[in-house]
Chains A and B, each alone.
Chain A
Amino acid sequence: MKARVGTYVLLGLYAVVSLYPFAWMLSGAFKTNRDVFADASLVPDSPTLDTFGRTWTELDFPSYFLNSLVVTGATVLGVLVVYSLAAYAFGVLHFPGRKVIYGGFISLLFVPGITVLLPVVILQQELGILGTHLGIVLPFVNGTAPLSILLLTNAFRSVPAELRESARCDGAGELRTFLSIYLPVSKPALITIALLTAVPTWNEYVLSRVSLNDPSTYTLPLGLQSLTAMTSPEYNVIMAASLIIVLPVIVLFVFLQRYFVNGLVGAVKG
């Protein structure tokens, strides 16, 4: 019994540590400019919605939010289309050079982001897409290649071969088989990939920062960063903006966490 209590105390303490900055993010977002440091309590003495209202309306956050949705949506769509096709070929079809090409994609996993960051920006410039959303979506899509191909190839490989045989006997071509049998059967894997792509893209900062110049193209992380460039950063506004970024991710995670968990465990085992 004593051990039981100890276990729960330990777990409770770590839950506090896990939630600590989120609690203060929430607290700061409901404080006034003056109270954000002056009022040291977690529950604000005089809570206000003004900070939120001001952050949302005065600071272009609707536009940042929309840009983030566009960039994240386009990246997820691109990843699902491009890599489910490729994974079907790698997992189901036979063709010369399959293993070598597959290995080439997986080896990308070892190239640190910083190693290609500068060449990517130079390439964007040469292609005339520097500063556009397309310019960051393309490298984002390519960046997920190793993980997406790995997980989706495994998923397609685990589909029973009889399904494909019987589809072929019914006269279905490869594309038909892929679209009407393999994709629906592999829905959990596709949702996992969508989530594992969406969340890091939503939070991405470094490449966006060096690619996007025009504030009208800014995504949420850049909008947030631009708040701190002021001479005296207003932490209540920064916390409200942070909350706007974090909330959709938390909602997505809470409702779809089994897809996250399966995907991450699968990725490490693979």
Chain B
Amino acid sequence: MAGVVPVDSPPRRPARRRYRLRESLTGYAFILPATVLFAVMGVYTVGYGLLLSFARWNGFTPNWIWVGFDNYLDLLYRDDALAPLVHDAALNTLLVMIGVPVLAIVVGLPIALALNRIRVLRSTLRTVYFLPFVTTGIAVFYAWTYVLQPQGSLNAVLGAVGLGSLQQPQGFLGNPSTALPTLIAVMAWSSIPIAILLYLAALQSLDPAILDAAKVDGAGGLRTVTSVVWPLLAPTTAAVVLLNVRDALQGFQIFLIMTNGGPGGTTNVLGLQAYKWAFFSDLRPTLGLASAMGWLLFVLAVVLAAVNLRMLRSRT
């Protein structure tokens, strides 16, 4: 900035330049606390984690053993004990990455459309729908765990309304074939509010003239939605997918609290596996593996975000 000021500037210029310099210094002073914190908590930890992913360490020995890309290769295919574990967890993660966004859209869009059509109760219902999102965390996960127990309320309710065939005598989290779908449903329950909110905001900003034109052309309600509204909402859908895919990749708290990966590893996901390697290694040298796993997740997150953005751009 200062470089563009000519050397033989008129007498007014030095004052202006002094002002510029002062503004720059003020700017640096203002971002100093944020930058120091970022350098220590962000850059340092990211760098440390990256280095650790190329080493073998159990967290206690004074020295790391450098192993190059071994951790990554072992995780991906080379190690006979680790790779199958990672592949199973990757498959579960993939199911979560597909299931949660699909549910968020399939449930969130109709609810938003319905909410957009009514006046009475709209804001009350919006508040109610939003509670699962703001309260998401350990307390709500325990509430679901309570509900899903063998003698829990969901089994009781299913029995009472004549859907006894859907009851799970071992509990929904205890049966290996229902545990993962149940967790996906609970995750979707927490994230549908955001989909409703974003779809509702998008619907309210749509030009009513377009919808009227569709009506004049004789398009029915469903027809209007599928061929007029849905394409117009594509950017919102992309945002919903992006948010949910990111959460599915990174979030493992619900798995840690509700099933800890069980029963029999059927709900183990990549984030949870990395967490276990990092903090429950029992002196085994798995800390580097945990770091490498974290970085694979990071790369995956960036690639998916890029693909999502590209698809969004090409469609609009």
Query: What residues of chain A have their CB less than 8 Å away from a CB belonging to chain B?
Result: 3-4, 7-8, 10-11, 14-15, 17-22, 24-25, 27-28, 37, 40, 42, 81-83, 85-86, 88-90, 93-96, 98, 101, 104-105, 108, 110-120, 122-123, 138-139, 141-142, 145, 149, 174, 178, 199-200, 202-206, 210, 221, 224-225, 228, 235, 238-239, 241-243, 245-246, 249-250, 253-254, 257, 260-261, 264-265, 268
Contact = CB atoms under 8 A, between A and B. Distances in A.
A68 B308 CA distance: 37
A40 B153 contact: yes
Contacts of A95: 1, 23-25, 27-28
A7 B117 contact: yes
Given A10-B114, A86-B34, A119 B274 contact: no
Interface stretch (B10-18, B73-81, B248-256): B248-256
A108 B302 CA distance: 11
B129 A264 contact: no
A86 B139 contact: no
B33 interface: yes
B142 A238 contact: yes
The interface residues of chain A, by DSSP majority, are classed as: helix
Interface string B123-155: 001011111101111111011101101011100
B297 interface: yes
Interface stretch (B44-52, B83-91, B173-181, B223-231): B44-52
B194 A11 contact: no
A199 B134 CA distance: 7
A7 B221 CA distance: 13
A19 B131 contact: yes
A3 B221 CA distance: 10
B169 interface: no
A221 B139 contact: yes
A253 B131 contact: yes
Given A82-B37, A101-B31, A260-B134, A114 B250 contact: yes
A141 B128 CA distance: 29
Contact of A42 (B153, B249, B271, B305): B153
Contacts of B138: 203, 205, 221, 224-225, 242, 245
Given A110-B301, A265-B201, A268-B243, A203 B30 contact: no
B184 interface: no
Contacts of B243: 268
Contacts of B128: 15, 18-19
Contact of B114 (A11, A42, A149, A250): A11
Contact of B153 (A24, A242, A257): A24
A118 to B, nearest CB: 4
Given A123-B40, A206-B253, A257-B130, A22 B143 contact: yes
Nearest to A115: B294
A268 B52 contact: no
B23 A112 contact: no
Contact of B294 (A17, A96, A112): A112
B45 A21 contact: no
A206 B250 contact: no
A98 B140 contact: no
Contacts of A113: 250
A245 B111 contact: no
Nearest to B136: A203
5 contacts: A101-B35, A114-B294, A118-B290, A138-B41, A224-B138
